[in-house]
Structure 1
Amino acid sequence: MSKQAAPVKKNETITLTFEDLTHEGNGVGKIDGYPLFVPYALPGEEAKVKVVKVNKKYGFGKLINVTKASPDRVEPPCDVFYKCGGCQIQHMSYSMQLEMKQNQVKNVMRKVAHLDHVPVYETIGMEDPWRYRNKVSIPVGEKGGELITGFYQMRSHHIIDDMDTCVVQDDVNDRMIEGVRRIASRLGIRAYDEKNHRGVLRHIMVRTGRETKETMIVLITRTEKLPHKEELVKELTDTYPNVKSIIHNVNSRRTNVILGDKTTVLWGEKYIYDTIGNIRFAISAKSFYQVNPPQTRKLYEKALEYAQVDEDDTVIDAYCGIGTISLFLAQKAKKLYGVEIVPEAINDAKINAKINGITNVEFEVGKAETVMPKWKEDGLRPDVIIVDPPRKGCEESLLNAMVEMGPKRIVYVSCNPSTLARDLRILEDGGYETKKVQPVDMFPQSMHVECVAMMSRELSN
């Protein structure tokens, strides 16, 4: 049987009407039932499109000219939006972004988890969906003998050198990056040359406490030695009084990973502090701390509501990190146990518990799927388990351990709706029922969405 050809050819220019969005925010239009995925196109629009790739079942196009625009199309405020790729959906009204994210969650709940009946609520958004990120890591390069900083151009390692601001970053971070670059350039500190594995300064990382306005600068170098470090530190601290910590991190490897293993304090404290609600957190250079604290508070309040923890409850927080969710839950619970594979995070979690005077917590280093069965053998019977895994979701062995422990409720916090849906299906098959799912917009202007799902055990008669 001959293979049916696609109705379009590569490099052909066509007129296309768009009817849908992918979970990446690309427009979907069809020619004789054959779908074309086109970045920056919106449903309801008509546009001239150049076909750039043709597969058997679908193709990809490039937007040339929008002939009929959607009322939800907006002008991106970022000058480098179409080069950068850090944000994918600035061209979309915020109300459409929130609706797209709700639909994304609904689709995977239906297609992957087979849970059509479970309510997926409207996405909780921000009043002001700009300037929300409290952390930036930006690569350093050179041009004309001067240091340049900027994100990499989409699908490349070419630094966008005409980028002077990032509209989703805290403006303090913008100013700090510019300050470090200017001072380091004047002092003659060389940028890292990725191709030849030479030079010094690889990345500049800045973290800012949203509530406290305390700032940490992390200088990531290829070399153990940071030239002119005394002058650099003096000028930064004289110029910027909000800087509380300057850290030197050494990454001598040929790698895309930003941070290396060796971290030393050049000036000030090892930590900066921030608060979410009534909890104070110490944040180190390597701490995982949510980049959008106002939305984190909404996310955790929802997790707390779904957990329904009372003073007689024992709670397990798998993937507890530096104790962000743990400490909120511990205020309501009888006892909380946290587990996390990163030793530095557990150390930070213990410090954070101490700072907040919370004593009914125990934190342990290890894989959740290894530690939790051990806790079960020791007789630990949790009333509530909360998980907040990385994008890849939970190991099946951990999901099985959760089912065997038999808590009354499971609260699943997820940054990836697809793996959330996959894992909910496994927990459903283990006797739990998904009651509701709440999307939260932690990353406005990007296609990412965070969710909280509530599950309870079906009791047999």
Structure 2
Amino acid sequence: MEDCSSSHVTEAAPPKEGEAADALSDNTYVSTAGEGEVTLDTSIYGYIKQDLFTSEIFKVEIRNLPKFIGFNDLKKFLAKHGLNPHKIKLFGKHTFAFVTFKNEEERNKAVKMVHGMQWKGQVLSVKLAKPKADPIQRKRKQEEAEGLLGQPPSKQAEGNDKEEPPSVQIANVVTPLWNVPYEQQLKRKEEDVVAVLQRLAKEIASTNRAMVPWLFEGKGKQNRMCCPLEAICPSPTQTEYRNKCEFLISVGADGEDKTIGFRLGKYKGGSCAVVGPAEVCHVSAEAKKVVHAFQKFIRSTPYTVYSPEMYEGHWKQLTVRTTRTKQAMAIVFFNPQKLRETELGALKNSMKEYFSEGEGKDSGITSLYFVREGQRKSPNVEDLPCELVAGDSWIHEELLGLTFRISPHSFFQVNTAGAEVLYSAVGEWAQLDQDSIVLDVCCGTGTIGISLAKRVKKVIGIELCQEAVEDAKVNAKLNGLSNVEFHCGKAEDLFPNILSALVSPKVTAIVDPPRAGLHSKVILAIRRAEHLKRLIYVACNAKAAMNNFIDLCRSPSNRVHGAPFQPVRAIAVDMFPQTTHFEMVMLFERVDYNSQQQMNNQKEALSSS
């Protein structure tokens, strides 16, 4: 599961992890087949250094690809010839692609092997490609030409005919609906859900013709949607609702150094400047208090902010988590560069003293963590070890009368009051009893499954983050539950075996996946397990989950086994007021072909009589 709201503002640095170019103007090419090297303009490719990994310097362009090939087709083709690409990005209606490799040897091997090769009647052409230009450096050249270089970002904005103060600019970035009346916000989101359900109706009609009569019968009553849509559930609180915020540490929009806040724009748009959250409406007062105290602390240290442009400096990010129980967790991300362990130890000691006994004592922080971030290719944030500097190891939150322990990397819905509304709807729609078994997929700290456990026979949770699984197990004990178990791993690896081992006729799956949706292997396992009759899908990005919805409902085939599902009802819950995001809940039920055929026969008999 993921936080989908716009306050999740951690942006990638320059394309050091092999991001393919998304604009052709950023790339120039040398002629063929691997002879010669690419000459770079160092003023806009400054992020490329010998001691930093980036697959951008091992990039090629493959031209004249066959029509209608996709990402997987090209990946399999290259693998068939012993090539292991790092990144692939298709362009021009998939007629050419940028492909990066992990080293020069692999890149040169690809050039020599693939150039001139035939694939589906097409003769492939391979050229070396320059890396993507650093957007910050490119913007600096533009500013220099326009006479804006050296001015604070807010002044540069004025030079671009933007006269709003930074507080308004940042509100427009992280809470784009802040000046829209709440009833209108809800109406907009409900219209977005209608569009999703109307599109799904069309997709089902084209991928499962057996459902067309059923769709046709309901469409007139449902405004061309695939199922009835209930009224959107508003958030109980529309401001100061976030219990987790990720703040960047950078230069302020006013030019002031060591500022903690939200980024004014995206790195790829050429911006590193941040604006503090003091006037942002969805951040809690408790979180703002922590930010204020932490900003004072880092300004008292000799260490600079980290520059994603130059890969220099130290302070990177501050994550703040708060709870109804008045606990606060602060997690600071710091790049040690070449500092000695003694220097890092002194810094952590001064941090502990500042927030335990010094000026920061009244900040409200009850749990303080320090995370080292290295210069080389970064792992997932969840893989970075957190070092407890001061206070408790966890914070605790209360939800639906239950208590939940939360670790630094564990997922927990960012709107606690909204989560109670969401989980109540899920519990109502699940139609559970004491014989039911609930599969809680992408369960995080176990909130959904634990909230339903007393009403069912058993709950089985699956979650990728080890910290979250440990929290979930503790949370089951904290709430006196013995009928709950949790498994750590990828849902696509664990779910099929767990599901096939269950023979109960009363199995209900509740899935709350990341914004990209469930892995196709999970969907295929759901389709195969025909004893699974009901599925509740919680989508934080309904458009991204569309392929999951389609695969749940499409006709059986060589790839998709088992009777399809059909959407029965849908509802939106506004978990992210002041933004364009929301959660959508859909109930799917397995199609009973026998009953459906009997109904169709009855209708045909009535129409012919």
- Alignment-derived partner of residue 253 in structure 1: 375
- Alignment-derived partner of residue 177 in structure 1: 291
Deviation at 1:397, TM superposition (A): 2.0
1:317 and 2:406 aligned: no
Residue 355 of structure 2: which of 213, 236, 239 is its match? Answer: 236
For residues 381 and 464 of structure 2, what CA distance do their matches in structure 1 show?
20
Deviation at 1:445, TM superposition (A): 1.0
Q: What amino acid is the match of 1:120?
A: L
Deviation at 1:335, TM superposition (A): 0.7
- Alignment-derived partner of residue 424 in structure 2: 301
1:98 and 2:173 aligned: no
Deviation at 1:151, TM superposition (A): 1.1
- Alignment-derived partner of residue 418 in structure 1: 543
Residue 378 of structure 1: which of 501, 514, 517 is its match? Answer: 501
Deviation at 1:226, TM superposition (A): 5.8
- Alignment-derived partner of residue 300 in structure 2: 186
1:152 and 2:263 aligned: yes
The unaligned stretches of length 5 or more in structure 1 are 1-63, 66-75
For residues 80 and 122 of structure 1, what CA distance do their matches in structure 2 show?
31
Structure with bigger helix share is 2
Cα 1:107–1:359 change in 2 (3 A) is: same
The unaligned stretches of length 5 or more in structure 2 are 1-159, 203-214, 216-224, 555-562, 596-609
1:395 and 2:395 aligned: no
Of residues 186-195 and 442-451 in structure 1, the stretch that sits farther from structure 2 once superposed is: 186-195
Deviation at 1:215, TM superposition (A): 0.6
Deviation at 1:188, TM superposition (A): 3.1
Residue 409 of structure 1: which of 510, 534, 543 is its match? Answer: 534
Cα 1:83–1:299 change in 2 (3 A) is: closer
CA RMSD of aligned residues (A): 2.6
Deviation at 1:104, TM superposition (A): 0.5
1:281 and 2:404 aligned: yes
Deviation at 1:259, TM superposition (A): 6.5
1:203 and 2:285 aligned: no
Cα 1:186–1:112 change in 2 (3 A) is: same
Deviation per CA, 1:251-272: give whole Å up to 9, x if none. 1135687666121111121110
- Alignment-derived partner of residue 49 in structure 1: none
For residues 166 and 323 of structure 1, what CA distance do their matches in structure 2 show?
30
Residue 363 of structure 1: which of 486, 498, 502 is its match? Answer: 486
For residues 442 and 313 of structure 1, what CA distance do their matches in structure 2 show?
28
State the number of aligned residues. Answer: 387
1:121 and 2:230 aligned: yes
For residues 380 and 86 of structure 1, what CA distance do their matches in structure 2 show?
47
Deviation at 1:82, TM superposition (A): 5.7
1:220 and 2:333 aligned: yes
For residues 290 and 333 of structure 1, what CA distance do their matches in structure 2 show?
23
Given that 2:330 and 2:367 are in contact with CA atoms closer than 8 Å, whether structure 1 keeps it comes out as yes
Given that 2:290 and 2:320 are in contact with CA atoms closer than 8 Å, whether structure 1 keeps it comes out as yes
Deviation at 1:313, TM superposition (A): 0.7
Q: Secondary structure at the residue paired with 2:325? A: coil
Cα 1:312–1:78 change in 2 (3 A) is: farther
Given that 1:138 and 1:149 are in contact with CA atoms closer than 8 Å, whether structure 2 keeps it comes out as yes
Deviation at 1:160, TM superposition (A): 2.8
For residues 487 and 383 of structure 2, what CA distance do their matches in structure 1 show?
24
Q: Secondary structure at the residue paired with 2:440? A: strand
Deviation at 1:415, TM superposition (A): 0.3
Deviation per CA, 1:114-165: give whole Å up to 9, x if none. 3624111222112441111111111112477842122111233422346534
Larger Rg, first or second structure (1 or 2): 2
For residues 553 and 256 of structure 2, what CA distance do their matches in structure 1 show?
60
For residues 290 and 319 of structure 1, what CA distance do their matches in structure 2 show?
12
Of residues 212-221 and 121-130 in structure 1, the stretch that sits farther from structure 2 once superposed is: 121-130
- Alignment-derived partner of residue 72 in structure 1: none
Cα 1:376–1:183 change in 2 (3 A) is: closer
Q: What amino acid is the match of 1:424?
A: F
- Alignment-derived partner of residue 331 in structure 1: 454
Given that 2:169 and 2:264 are in contact with CA atoms closer than 8 Å, whether structure 1 keeps it comes out as no
Cα 1:160–1:310 change in 2 (3 A) is: same
For residues 449 and 77 of structure 1, what CA distance do their matches in structure 2 show?
28
TM-score where L is the length of structure 1: 0.78
TM-score where L is the length of structure 2: 0.60
Deviation at 1:380, TM superposition (A): 4.3
For residues 522 and 315 of structure 2, what CA distance do their matches in structure 1 show?
41
Cα 1:111–1:261 change in 2 (3 A) is: same
Q: Secondary structure at the residue paired with 2:187? A: helix
For residues 290 and 240 of structure 1, what CA distance do their matches in structure 2 show?
26
Q: What amino acid is the match of 1:158?
A: C
- Alignment-derived partner of residue 431 in structure 1: 564
Identical columns (%): 27
Q: Secondary structure at the residue paired with 1:118? A: coil
Q: Secondary structure at the residue paired with 1:130? A: coil
Given that 1:192 and 1:198 are in contact with CA atoms closer than 8 Å, whether structure 2 keeps it comes out as yes
Residue 473 of structure 2: which of 339, 342, 350 is its match? Answer: 350
Deviation per CA, 1:336-391: give whole Å up to 9, x if none. 11112222221221111121121101111222222222124434445211111111
Of residues 137-146 and 393-402 in structure 1, the stretch that sits farther from structure 2 once superposed is: 137-146
Deviation per CA, 1:57-116: give whole Å up to 9, x if none. xxxxxxx99xxxxxxxxxx99933467512222232211110111110110111134362
For residues 374 and 258 of structure 1, what CA distance do their matches in structure 2 show?
28
Deviation per CA, 1:389-436: give whole Å up to 9, x if none. 111112222112112223231111110111344323322234322111
- Alignment-derived partner of residue 455 in structure 1: 588
For residues 244 and 400 of structure 2, what CA distance do their matches in structure 1 show?
19
Given that 1:78 and 1:167 are in contact with CA atoms closer than 8 Å, whether structure 2 keeps it comes out as no
